[in-house]
Amino acid sequence: MNTDVATGSQGDRTTGFSPKNVLLVVVPLAALVIAVFGTLYVQAQREPQPVNFLGSVQQALLAPTGLAAGLVDKDGDLVADAPTDAQHWLDPETIEFEVLGNDLAREQEQWADFVTHLQQVTGKRVHLMLRPEQLGVAPGQAVPPPVQQARDLREGKVHLACLNTGAVTIGVNEGGAVPFCVMADDDGKFGYQMEIIVPAKSRVQEVAQLKGSQKILFTSTYSHSGFKAPLTLLWKEFQLQPERDYTAVFVNGQERAIKDIAANRGDAAPVASDLLQRIISRDDFAKDSIRSVYQSKTFPPACFAHAHQLHPELVQKVKTAFLDFPWPGTSLEKAYAAAQQSRFVPATYQADWQPVRDVEDHLAALLKTKN
C-alpha cells in the first residue's frame, strides 16, 4: 500500500482525494478507537467500579414475591404445580442440566461421574451447561443471568438447574422452578454462613469499623451472601448505609471478591463460607492473607431444581438419581470435600428458604424507610 501512495496519479495529488488514502487514515483511526475502548473495558473489569447501590437494590427487588401469571399452586407449597394436562409435560430425549461456575472445563470434570450416573438412572442423555456467575448484564445480554435462567426454565430450555441461594426466589416465582435437594454433610446437615472477610493486615477487627470504607466488594444483586444478606446486616444491625457510610463496588463473582481481598484490593467482602473453603482448598492464595470478622446464622445453600412441567415420572427418576448417588471416590466428592459436602438430601422451598425470603422482606422494608 505504501507503493500505491507514492505512485498515485497527479490527479489524486491535486484533488487531495484517494480511496486508498482514506483507508490509510480511517483504518488506523478505527483500530486506535477500538484499542482505547478495549483498554478501558479491560480496566473496568479489573478495577471494581462504584455503583448506584440503592438503585441496584431496587432493581433486584422488582421480581414478583409470588408465582407469576400462568403458574398454579393449588397445594399451597409456594412452588408451581405440574400442568394438569399431560400434553404439556416435558419428556426430553436429552436433559439440559445447568450448573453454576466460571470454568466449564472444571465443572465438566467435577460433574462427570454424576452425569454418568444421572444418565444411567433416567435412561436419558444429559447435556451439562454452565451459567456463569457474573455482575448483572454482560455485553450483548438483555437481562441478568438469574432472570434469563428463570426464563429458560419456564420455556423448557433448561430442565434441571443449580440455583444460587439468592436466585431461588426468582427461579421459583418467575421460572416455575421446583427445588428438591441440596448438598449436605455426612450427617445430612446443610447450609452455609455469610462471612465478611478483610485483608489479614486490615485495621478492621469488627463490622462496625467498616464505616468509612472505600471498597466493600459485593457481587450480583441477585446473590444472597454476596449482596442481599450483607447489605441488610450492615444497614439494619450496624446502621451502616451504602453511599452514606461506605462505598460499595461490584466485582464479578465471589471468587473474584475473595482473591481481591487476599491481594489487598478491597476493604472487605461478604462471601459464602462453603465457597470460601472450596477456594482456599485449591491453594490459589495464602490462607493467612484474609481474616473473617463476621459469620452469620445458617442459610440454605445452592439448590437443585427441576422445571415444573417436567414429566412426573422423569422427575421421580431425577430425584432418585440425586438422592441415591454414591459419592465416595467420585469426582464430585473430590470437588466438594473441602466444603464438607458429601451427599444430596431433600429440601423444600416452603420450609428451607424461609430465612432467605425473610432477608428479602427486611431489605424491601429498609428501602421504603430510605425513600
Q: Which amino acid is at 81?
A: D
Q: What is the structure's pLDDT at 275?
A: 92
Q: Can you give the length of the chain in residues? A: 371
Detail the DSSP E strand segments found in 143-289. Answer: 160-163, 177-184, 192-199, 216-218, 248-250, 269-272
Q: What is the structure's pLDDT at 56?
A: 65
Is 192-299 in the same CATH topology as 63-189+300-370? Answer: yes
pTM attached to this predicted model: 0.81
Residue 256 pLDDT greater than 50, yes or no: yes
- Per-domain boundaries in the chain: 63-189+300-370, 192-299
The CATH classification number of 63-189+300-370 equals 3.40.190.10
Helix (H, G, I), strand (E, B) or coil at 145: helix
Residue 138 pLDDT greater than 80, yes or no: no
Class of the CATH-defined domain 192-299: alpha beta
Tens-digit pLDDT profile for residues 11-31 = 443 344 454 443 444 444 333
Residue 145 pLDDT greater than 80, yes or no: yes
| Cα end-to-end span (Å), the chain | 63
Cell matching residue 306:
427441576
Tens-digit pLDDT profile for residues 324-341 = 999 999 999 999 998 899
Cell matching residue 270:
461478604
